[in-house]
Amino acid sequence: MAANKKKISLRERLFRILASVGIAITLWFMVNGNADMLITQDFNSIPITLNKVESLTEKNLVLADDKNYYLNLQVKGTDKNLRNVNMKEVTAEVDLSDIEAKGTYHLDVEVKGLANSVIISSMNPTSLSIEVDNIIKENLDVVILLEGKPANDLSVISAESLEQVEVEGPEASIARIDKITATADVSGLESDTTRHLEVAAYDATGDPITDLEILPNVVKTEIVLGKTKSIGIIPSTTGSPANGYIVTGVQVEPSKVLVGANEALLNSIETIPMDPIDVSGQSKTFTKDINLTPPVGCYFLDDGGKVKVTVSIESPVEKSFTIDKVSTKNLGTGLVAAKVKDARVVVKLEGASSILNSLNASQIEAFVDCANLPPGEYELPIQTNLSQSLVKSITPAKTTVIIE
């Protein structure tokens, strides 16, 4: 006969249910903490990783700013859950894989490694502004800089790289390049030499540009020694200006250039020739930049091969001067001019007003040339001490001279 079960009262069953619920809640609090007691915690200076940087290189792109980014993070959770956060597993990341062209991109920062029971309440920054530039290449000349002084009172008259370099990097960085340089120490140098010099890129303020690849990074350089001196430039013109105009002057700036060569050759050079300036059809003053060609075996120093030539062109004016005496020149020893028929002449000049207005009669000499003439009577042309290009006429053109 089965034993009779003890009948549990409704009141006792309710008590047991409530006790079970209470125990369950207590156990949950023991494991998870108090659900109503959420607290906040800050995690600062979390490094932000830029993912897929290599994808930019494959597209001939590069980050314009190579710098580090950091995230400040604030989270909420129970004390228990926050204590279980392992910061070694928490990362902040930005994905660059969708970037296809040069430009500025605003990309979201993604936080990974936090448990679902931890809530992000704030983060700074929430996104990064990423600037991307094109990678380009450019071939450039190398400027050779010098340090020190050669021996025996010699000078470096030429220092040139025998090759160009290829520069690769961000387009903005290459645009900043003022020059590619290499430096040669010539202290005590006694003869011509060849050096292998390391190159570097600099901007206009002299600061190095470091985010570039330069190939080759060492260049072969020839250094030539010699003597130097300043030599004058002889300008000239060709052709004729427009009708009614004349060339009134040619000015070269600088008027001399510093030239280097071996001493014997240098001593044989008196002037630097210049190709004639074409003035055909010109009706006003003009200026032209000219690159001179050095004589064979010579070198221009300090950019001396570049000059600025100004050709003055004006409409000519006429002006007449009366000269009260006609003198004689180059009479033979013991001879005298017993008589000069015309004692007064009129000299008519034509030229630039700037020149003619600066003249007066006392500055003009009229004379006849009696060189190699024995005693006798001669009809001789009257000349002046002015440039033939200024003298339009002399009245009378000739005079009679008696030499005794």
Provide the residue-wise pLDDT of the chain in tens; the chain has 404 residues: 444 445 666 677 666 767 776 676 666 555 555 545 889 999 999 999 999 999 999 999 999 888 899 999 999 998 888 888 888 899 999 999 999 999 999 999 999 999 888 999 999 999 999 999 999 999 999 999 999 999 999 999 999 998 999 999 999 999 999 999 999 999 999 999 999 999 999 999 999 999 999 999 999 999 999 999 999 998 989 999 999 888 888 999 998 999 999 989 999 998 888 889 999 999 999 999 988 888 888 999 877 688 999 999 988 888 999 999 999 999 999 999 889 998 899 999 988 887 888 899 999 999 999 999 999 999 999 999 998 888 999 999 999 999 98
Residue labelled with tokens 């800089």: 145
The predicted structure's pLDDT at residue 3: 46
Positions of E strands within 208-285: 213-215, 218-234, 237-238, 246-253, 256-261, 271-273, 277-278
**What is the C-alpha to C-alpha distance for residues 233 and 340, in angstroms, rounded to an integer?**
43
Alpha helices per DSSP H over 259-359 = 263-267, 353-356
Alpha helices per DSSP H over 177-279 = 263-267
Considering only CA atoms, which of 139, 124, 159 is closest in space to residue 44?
124
pTM: 0.59
Considering only CA atoms, which of 281, 278, 292 is closest in space to residue 250?
278
Instruction: Please return the burial class of 153, using the count of CB atoms within 10 Å of its CB with bins 0-12, 13-18 and 19+.
Output: exposed
Residues 33, 81 contacting (CB under 8 angstroms): yes
β-pairing, 277-278 vs 237-238, is parallel
Residue labelled with tokens 């003890």: 6
**What is the C-alpha to C-alpha distance for residues 248 and 320, in angstroms, rounded to an integer?**
18
Name the CA dihedral angle for 232, 238, 242, 244, rounded to a multiple of 10 degrees: 70
Q: Which residues pair with 120 in a beta bridge?
A: 75
For 143, half-sphere exposure in the C-beta direction (CA atoms, 13 angstrom radius) is: 11
The predicted structure's pLDDT at residue 24: 65
What are the distances in angstroms from CA 140 to CA 83, 204, 218, 246, 299? 59, 16, 14, 44, 22
